[in-house]
């Protein structure tokens, strides 16, 4: 473990700032993991109504992402990140004040819109601050930071959910504000200069700049498009851990289901914290597409077996399986995308590609709610495993046609 952690030495100083900012922000991620339970248990939504809400929330994320990406590629990453992150935190602060009122779903929707504006700027900043040589390790460290925080946050939220629900919103707002202030004070604007972008058009790498708008640039990367379509099957499958999994645990274990779900999310974070540096150090010599193929197989096994799990230890064991797949996927997916994104369109690619890749995430709640209401929870989890298997097959096909390994 100590040897594996050594891969994080010598990274750019702003990456360490982003790491600590991510830890703080992730500790306060209280709302999203428990949003389905909040809608169903606190506000009285049915599974289908909650699913439709979650799907609409994902759709609302899209215009925010497109607007934010354009702003980040024009005025800069830092102002977009800081301004709209603080706007999102304000929405959660107001939600805490009005907790339990009908206005809550609308405040959360507005927060998700602002979140959509922030994400492309954050992703572009991460890529700006790294090179192909240190990018996979840098991304891995930031991902590790997210999960260090996430190992703590859901446990706290699980106990707050019934006793002090307003603090789910307050905690999210406070942590987000502190994380944003850290970036505002410690990181300079990272957007490449016009001169650098112009010079990059002569590069012989997959990061070279492109002329024209986002669609024209995207069509110069057909492999990236196929990659994004394959990933959407993974996003559909993983999204069920936010929508269907808390419904399953509360169905089987009543009020203790929320506590078990919080423990599962904490275990997810703990496994990432322990396993992330080890897995990255062992698998970084393999092609990222081969690694992502393997991650899809782990997803297929972990998610499909939830159909047959009946005890807390079984749920925890399956959490370890799908989390291992998550580590492999997360530390290779963004690395592959960043290395194939033109420097001239980083923020816009960071918006459009997650929209394509997140189609499954957007559709998962409404499809999941429909399957649960019309058939059964077991059928949902079997179909979820099948979706992961389809995504894995797409990645393997892309891997077989790759002409040379990525750096």
CA distance 124 to 387: 29
**Tens digits of residue pLDDT in 140-194:** 899 888 878 877 887 788 778 878 889 989 999 999 999 999 999 999 988 887 7
Q: Which two tokens stand for residue 276?
A: 């992330």
Q: Using only C-alpha atoms, what is the Rg of the chain?
A: 20
**Tens digits of residue pLDDT in 231-243:** 999 999 998 988 8
Helix orientation angle between 47-74 and 104-128, rounded to the nearest 10 degrees: 40
Query: Is the predicted pLDDT of residue 329 greater than 60, yes or no?
Result: yes
Burial class of residue 83, CB neighbours in 10 A (0-12, 13-18, 19+): middle
CA distance 90 to 329: 32
Mean pLDDT of 200-219: 73
Q: Which two tokens stand for residue 348?
A: 């816009």
Report long-range pairs for 1-10 (Cβ below 8 Å, ≥24 apart): 1/274, 1/277, 1/278, 3/281, 4/277, 4/278, 4/280, 4/281, 5/277, 7/137, 7/140, 7/277, 7/280, 7/281, 8/137, 8/140, 8/141, 8/277, 10/134
Which residue in 406, 389, 396, 400 sits closest to 292, CA to CA?
A: 396
Q: Classify 403 as helix, strand or coil.
A: coil
Query: Is the predicted pLDDT of residue 202 greater than 90, yes or no?
Result: no
Q: Tell me, what's the pLDDT at 407?
A: 42
Contact between 294 and 322 under an 8 Å Cβ cutoff? The reply is no
Model confidence at 381, pLDDT cuts 50, 70, 90, reads very high
Contact between 276 and 331 under an 8 Å Cβ cutoff? The reply is yes
Contact between 263 and 158 under an 8 Å Cβ cutoff? The reply is yes
Q: Which two tokens stand for residue 320?
A: 């370890």
Q: Which two tokens stand for residue 31?
A: 């709302």
H or E, element range at 397: helix 377-401
Task: Pick left, alpha or beta for residue 393 (phi over 0 → left; psi -120 to 50 → alpha; otherwise beta).
Answer: alpha
Instruction: Write down the H helix ranges in 28-76.
Output: 35-37, 47-74
**Tens digits of residue pLDDT in 273-286:** 888 888 988 898 89
127-136, 243-252, 351-360, 387-396 — most confident range: 387-396
CA distance 55 to 363: 6
Instruction: Please report, for residues 184, 201, 223, the alpha-carbon distance to residue 403 in angstroms, rounded to integers and kept in the order given.
Output: 41, 22, 11
Residue percentage of the chain with pLDDT more than 90: 39
Which residue in 348, 153, 321 sits closest to 237, CA to CA?
A: 321
First-to-final CA distance of the chain: 25
CA angle 287, 293, 294 (to 5 degrees): 95
**Tens digits of residue pLDDT in 35-92:** 888 888 888 888 788 888 887 887 887 899 889 988 998 899 999 999 999 999 999 9
Instruction: Please report, for residues 140, 143, 266, the alpha-carbon distance to residue 1 in angstroms, rounded to integers and kept in the order given.
Output: 15, 17, 20
- Higher-pLDDT residue of 93 and 352 is 93
Query: Is the predicted pLDDT of residue 28 greater than 50, yes or no?
Result: yes
Torsion sign, CA atoms 224, 220, 58, 378: negative
Contact between 391 and 237 under an 8 Å Cβ cutoff? The reply is yes
Q: Which two tokens stand for residue 141?
A: 């460290």
Contact between 22 and 330 under an 8 Å Cβ cutoff? The reply is no
């Amino acid at each position: 473990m100590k040897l594996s952690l050594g891969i994080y030495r010598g990274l750019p100083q702003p990456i360490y700032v982003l790491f600590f900012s991510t830890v703080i922000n992730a500790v306060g991620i209280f709302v999203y993991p428990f949003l389905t339970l909040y809608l169903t248990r606190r506000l009285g939504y049915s599974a289908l109504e909650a699913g439709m809400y979650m799907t609409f929330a994902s759709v609302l994320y899209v215009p925010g992402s497109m607007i934010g990406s354009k702003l980040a590629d024009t005025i800069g990453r830092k102002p977009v990140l800081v301004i709209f992150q603080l706007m999102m935190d304000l929405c959660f602060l107001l939600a805490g004040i009005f907790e339990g009122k009908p206005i809550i779903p609308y405040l959360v929707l507005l927060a998700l819109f602002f979140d959509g504006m922030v994400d492309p700027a954050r992703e572009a900043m991460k890529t700006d601050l790294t090179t192909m040589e240190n990018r996979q390790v840098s991304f891995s460290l930031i991902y590790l930071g997210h999960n260090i925080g996430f190992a703590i946050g859901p446990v706290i939220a699980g106990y707050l959910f019934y006793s002090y629900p307003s603090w789910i919103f307050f905690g999210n707002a406070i942590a987000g504000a502190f994380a944003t202030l850290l970036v505002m004070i410690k990181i300079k604007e990272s957007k490449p200069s016009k001169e650098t972008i112009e010079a990059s058009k002569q590069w012989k790498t997959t990061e070279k700049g492109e002329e024209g708008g986002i669609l024209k640039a995207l069509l110069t990367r057909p492999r990236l498009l196929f990659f994004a379509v394959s990933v959407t099957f993974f996003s559909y499958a993983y999204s069920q851990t936010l929508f269907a999994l808390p419904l399953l645990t509360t169905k089987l274990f009543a009020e203790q289901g929320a506590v078990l779900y919080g423990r599962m999310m904490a275990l997810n974070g703990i496994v990432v914290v322990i396993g992330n540096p080890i897995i990255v150090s062992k698998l970084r010599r393999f092609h990222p597409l081969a690694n992502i193929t393997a991650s899809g197989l782990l997803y297929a096994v972990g998610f499909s077996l939830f159909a047959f799990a009946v005890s807390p230890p079984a749920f925890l064991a399956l959490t370890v399986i799908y989390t291992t797949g998550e580590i492999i996927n997360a530390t290779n997916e963004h690395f592959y995308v960043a290395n194939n994104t033109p420097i001239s369109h980083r923020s816009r690619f960071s918006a459009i590609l997650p929209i394509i890749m997140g189609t499954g995430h957007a559709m998962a709640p409404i499809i999941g709610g429909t399957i649960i209401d019309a058939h059964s929870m077991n059928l949902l989890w079997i179909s979820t495993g099948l979706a992961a298997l389809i995504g894995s097959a797409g990645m393997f096909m892309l891997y077989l046609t790759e002409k040379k390994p990525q750096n």
